Amino acid sequence: MRQWSTLHPKFSFLPQEVKFAISSSPQDRAAVQVHDIGLVLKHDASGTAGFEVIVGGGQGRTPMIGKTIRGFLPKKDLLSYAEAILRIYNRFGRRDNKYKARIKILVHELDSDALTDAVEREWYDIRDGALRLPATDIARIGDYFAAPAFEAFEGDEPLLAELRAKDRAFDLWAQRNVVPRRSPGYAIVNISLKPIGGVPGDATTAQMDSVADIAEQFEFGDIRVSHTQNLVLPHIRHADLYEIWGLLADAELATGNIGLVTDIIACPVLDFCSLANARSIPISQRISERFATLERQHDIGELAVNISGCINAFGHHHVGHIGILSVDRKGEEYCQITLGGNPESDTSIGKFVGPAFWSADIVNAVETVADTYLNERHSGERLIETYNRLSKASFKEALYGTA
């Protein structure tokens, strides 16, 4: 996709930017339904690999969830179909208003069926041309990402369970930051860049050197970046987890909060960005300090807090379980709260609950939402599920004293 699209002469003057998101996991890890073009890798009934194609998602001023325009696209047709989509966007996309020049507006105005028909007709003319991917090219690029030379293990090592039972701090970190890998005896380590009171997503040069050293010593030199502003080491042996945890602790990178209330996504906004008119970093720092106790975070469970400092929604606040939009009003910073957003496969756009809060009061408001959830939840429910069951009335009454 990158080789085809970078500096593509036909698409140098599209109406607006185009953002692709690609996911190959049953659990969406790339928020594909809120990007201009989302691709979900899957297999058909015969086991052939291909893509579900989703078009017209986006956030910002007009948040929308993308529409599936093709349930299954063979892998060899990926580039020609993407080109057909962009040709239609280039031809019919709005250029009279920069705020309406996105694919999502085109999908909304044409409706997804009409867009699908237009794309399919365009694709029919080009699908057997130069953009059909030969199997040799797919294999060549696939070789770049060949699995490393894993050692052979028969299953989980008893040592890991023993260490988790002996060391409570290690156990809490492993609960949230370590997930199984397909290869027996190996795990995926998520490195949280969300220390309590820190700047979400930041790392010092010394910390990055430490991560690089760990990847070189214990891994295959592979470090990945997640869309949640954290780092991932995808090939770690169980036998090395305890030592790696210690090294991460020495580098102040052993915060065990992946997916919890302090694992906050926040855009850099006014501190670094000329588009913003308010701040999100101080808000995220205060929230993490309020929920600093790890036991409390584990009691609350999975909870996504996303914060943006402008309407462009670079913090993805629309799809946070709790979304916060920080805005400036005549020199004062206020925060609007949305609830019920979800970036996963059952994507939903959060709804505004009520009037904005003064920035100084936003942490109390987030705590009120969390406390309401704890009081109202059924066994095993996440906040997003409790909210969907109750709707926003219970939360609005808790926040404002009236439903």
pLDDT digits (tens, 9 = 90+) for 152-211: 876 556 777 888 898 999 999 999 999 988 888 899 999 999 999 999 999 999 999 999
State residue 170's pLDDT score. Answer: 95
Q: How confident is the model at residue 33 (pLDDT cuts 50, 70, 90)?
A: very high
State residue 138's pLDDT score. Answer: 85
Token pair 């349930």 is found at 71
d(CA 191, CA 177): 7
Q: Which CATH number fits domain 2-144: 3.30.1360.30, 1.10.10.10, 3.30.413.10, 3.40.920.10?
A: 3.30.413.10
d(CA 66, CA 56): 4
| DSSP per residue, 169-184 | HHHHHHHHHEEE-SST
Cα 366 to Cα 206, 337, 347, distances in angstroms: 33, 9, 22
3-class secondary-structure state, position 13: coil
Average pLDDT along the chain: 92
Q: How confident is the model at residue 275 (pLDDT cuts 50, 70, 90)?
A: confident
Domain 265-400 falls under CATH 3.40.190.10: no
Question: Higher pLDDT residue, 215 or 277?
Answer: 215
State residue 113's pLDDT score. Answer: 92
Q: What percent of the chain has pLDDT over 70?
A: 98
Phi first, then psi: what are they for 334, rounded to 5°? -125, 160
Q: How confident is the model at residue 272 (pLDDT cuts 50, 70, 90)?
A: confident
State residue 160's pLDDT score. Answer: 79
State residue 229's pLDDT score. Answer: 94
83-102 mean pLDDT: 94
State residue 26's pLDDT score. Answer: 83
d(CA 248, CA 210): 8
Residues of the chain with CATH 3.30.413.10: 2-144, 265-400
Residues of the chain with CATH 3.90.480.20: 158-250
State residue 156's pLDDT score. Answer: 58
State residue 155's pLDDT score. Answer: 57
31-52 mean pLDDT: 94
- Whether 282 contacts 197, CB under 8 Å: no
Q: Which two tokens stand for residue 155?
A: 């299953």
Residue type, 232: V
- The CATH number assigned to the domain with range 158-250 reads 3.90.480.20
Q: Which two tokens stand for residue 90?
A: 């280039």
Q: How confident is the model at residue 7 (pLDDT cuts 50, 70, 90)?
A: confident
- Whether 313 contacts 278, CB under 8 Å: no
State residue 328's pLDDT score. Answer: 87
Q: What percent of the chain has pLDDT over 90?
A: 73
Query: Is residue 260 scored above 60 in pLDDT?
Result: yes
d(CA 193, CA 183): 26
Length of the chain: 403
111-116 mean pLDDT: 92
- Whether 175 contacts 190, CB under 8 Å: no
Give the lowest-confidence range in 8-17, 84-93, 209-218.
8-17
State residue 330's pLDDT score. Answer: 83
Token pair 């953002």 is found at 19
Query: Is residue 258 scored above 90 in pLDDT?
Result: yes
| DSSP per residue, 180-212 | E-SSTTEEEEEE----TTS-TT---HHHHHHHH
- Whether 89 contacts 8, CB under 8 Å: no
Question: Higher pLDDT residue, 273 or 92?
Answer: 92
State residue 6's pLDDT score. Answer: 87
212-237 mean pLDDT: 95
Query: Is residue 22 scored above 90 in pLDDT?
Result: yes
Q: Which two tokens stand for residue 58?
A: 């986006």
d(CA 8, CA 30): 24
State residue 403's pLDDT score. Answer: 58
For the entire predicted model, the pTM comes to 0.92
State residue 345's pLDDT score. Answer: 86
321-345 mean pLDDT: 92
Question: Higher pLDDT residue, 403 or 366?
Answer: 366
Phi first, then psi: what are they for 37, rounded to 5°? -130, 120
